[in-house]
Structure 1
């Protein structure tokens, strides 16, 4: 395979590309496998992975499951775009615009309802910064294309600023936390469970969260060719995601005890993060898709993505009534 920038980004994101992923379409159909990308924040899909739910449910259909972890949503959807995976776990609301601007063929198949408090702009506990306006001229860390990116745009705009008024530091969550704690950046825009972790472990102070700025829905997407070929598999995954979300919200203590060792955090931190997430899975609705268009427009107007994106051009899978 040619060493392209996209391939390098996928390798950096932690997606190995073994020979099995380089099969031609006919071979892929014969193998009949489902390749899923997820992040540490993909709680519902991680639950299904850890319990082997999809493997058991799809075995009678002769469909195997492969899992690939990414450090943020943008490289995940890049992998979906180039055909390295078939299905994404949840990504933040800002991420699809970047993938669609790159020409990705994506199908929306589910959303999580809003969780605005599950992402925030934070500063260190001893920081003199007390308002977003005071970030002017300062270095701010965030993952490019993440929901945090859009939250920052909105927060700056509410204070009469733009992205040009700060110094962006495009960093993965792990690198951003190191820069944040050593004082190399003035602020960090981050989502749960990383948000809960830096609050509890480092005493980080929330400058502003997504309340009245960004609804922070989480979106689940599929490669359109896969969605067209296996809508039955999408239906099964959708139903299991709904059940997982209901279990987590109705069993918060048990859910935190299960989730903590899986992602390397303590249960108390995970429970804080889970309280701020809705985990309510439903089909993509008109309101959510309209918000997707507003987000895409905000990025194109700020010249962060190269062209205008029409969300209405992307297919939407819906469960059978």
Structure 2
């Protein structure tokens, strides 16, 4: 796989959080409950924080939630691996990528996209004037994504399905904001990304060249720093329970969710609503079937030479209920 970054700054533990949008704190204090203290939660743009604020599920929590904002799973996982945050939601591909790189993290909860997965929730998108309508049309072209992301995984899976080698395209590893700018200026030919970025790009005239639905099952994991999974087990268990209630609430409150999502992210309300509709998820157990399904994610990265896969897959999961 060709790695030809346009801009790929190194991130220290402190810079990872600052570059991702700074530190936000929410006091979720109240009476009752056994857990107390502070839970540091990493939030990818347009995901957990907006959902839980909209649903009001943190009201009355007997502990404080400190939020840190990140533009993509990679930077969130870096913060988790360094112990800068305790828990955060990421897709299955970036989790597997970071775990096999040796990060001290474990998946403590899981969720899946409520079927049917909408078109464009995960996709390789191209500019309006592009002639590309498939992964074969992008052979030899420059495709941007974040390294180890679900977008990166989508490119590899699409290439596999078309019987093309991993180096048939030129991967350019960028942050979502840099990818968006590069697509608009023509510095790249395509962008492999996810909501809310797909929704915003499509609204601005981009087009889907490869839809991600055949290549991803939409699994996501609440991932914890291994130390926090032990020392803050009660807080994490309570937080996951509240997140589960928020997921159920969002299924019938898309407009309310969208209003908070727009406020939290700065997205136009119409794009926030489209994102909310594409982000329908439900809690699922971390069981043998789910772990087995993750083998394909791991094998895809391994066969492309992106990971060595030396850590046992089953040890990546430590459910907290």
Q: Same fold (TM over 0.5)?
A: yes
Of 285, 291, 299, the match for 1:297: 299
1:169-248 equivalences under 5 Å are 169-200=172-203, 202-248=204-250
Give CA deviations for 1:190-244 in whole Å, capped at 9, x if unaligned: 10011011111x2211112222211121211112221222322122111111111
8 Å Cα contact 2:93-2:150 kept in structure 1: yes
Deviation of residue 48 (structure 1)?
2.4
1:98 aligns to 2:121 (yes or no): no
1:47 aligns to 2:51 (yes or no): yes
User: Which residue number in structure 2 is paired with residue 23 of structure 1?
Assistant: none
Greater strand share, structure number: 2
Of 266, 269, 275, the match for 2:268: 266
8 Å Cα contact 1:296-1:309 kept in structure 2: no
Q: How many residues are aligned here? A: 297
1:246-261 equivalences under 5 Å are 246-261=248-263
1:55-70 equivalences under 5 Å are 56-58=60-62, 63-70=63-70
1:126 aligns to 2:117 (yes or no): no
Deviation of residue 174 (structure 1)?
0.6
8 Å Cα contact 2:143-2:172 kept in structure 1: yes
**C-alpha distance in 1, partners of 2:15/2:143?**
22
User: Which residue number in structure 2 is paired with residue 160 of structure 1?
Assistant: 163
Distance 1:108 1:181, change over 3 A: same
User: Which residue number in structure 2 is paired with residue 150 of structure 1?
Assistant: 153
TM-score, normalised relative to structure 1:
0.84
Distance 1:144 1:55, change over 3 A: farther
* Residue range with higher mean Cα deviation, 220-229 or 183-192: 220-229
**C-alpha distance in 1, partners of 2:191/2:20?**
23
Give CA deviations for 1:58-106 in whole Å, capped at 9, x if unaligned: 2xxxx33211111211121121111111111x21111112221232232
Of 262, 279, 282, the match for 1:280: 282
8 Å Cα contact 2:233-2:320 kept in structure 1: no
1:78 aligns to 2:81 (yes or no): no
8 Å Cα contact 1:38-1:46 kept in structure 2: no
Q: List runs of 5+ in structure 1 lacking aligned partners.
A: 18-30
Distance 1:79 1:51, change over 3 A: same
Distance 1:113 1:150, change over 3 A: same
Q: Aligned to 1:219, what secondary structure does the other structure show?
A: strand
Of 1, 10, 20, the match for 1:14: 20
Deviation of residue 12 (structure 1)?
6.3
8 Å Cα contact 2:21-2:70 kept in structure 1: yes
8 Å Cα contact 1:9-1:75 kept in structure 2: no
Greater helix share, structure number: 1
1:135 aligns to 2:141 (yes or no): no
User: Which residue number in structure 2 is paired with residue 110 of structure 1?
Assistant: 109
Q: Aligned to 2:292, what secondary structure does the other structure show?
A: helix
* Residue range with higher mean Cα deviation, 92-101 or 168-177: 92-101
8 Å Cα contact 1:74-1:98 kept in structure 2: no
* Residue range with higher mean Cα deviation, 67-76 or 269-278: 269-278
Q: CA RMSD in A?
A: 2.4
Whose RCO is larger (CA < 8 A, sep 6+)? 2
Q: Aligned to 1:228, what secondary structure does the other structure show?
A: helix
* Residue range with higher mean Cα deviation, 248-257 or 31-40: 31-40
Distance 1:204 1:253, change over 3 A: same
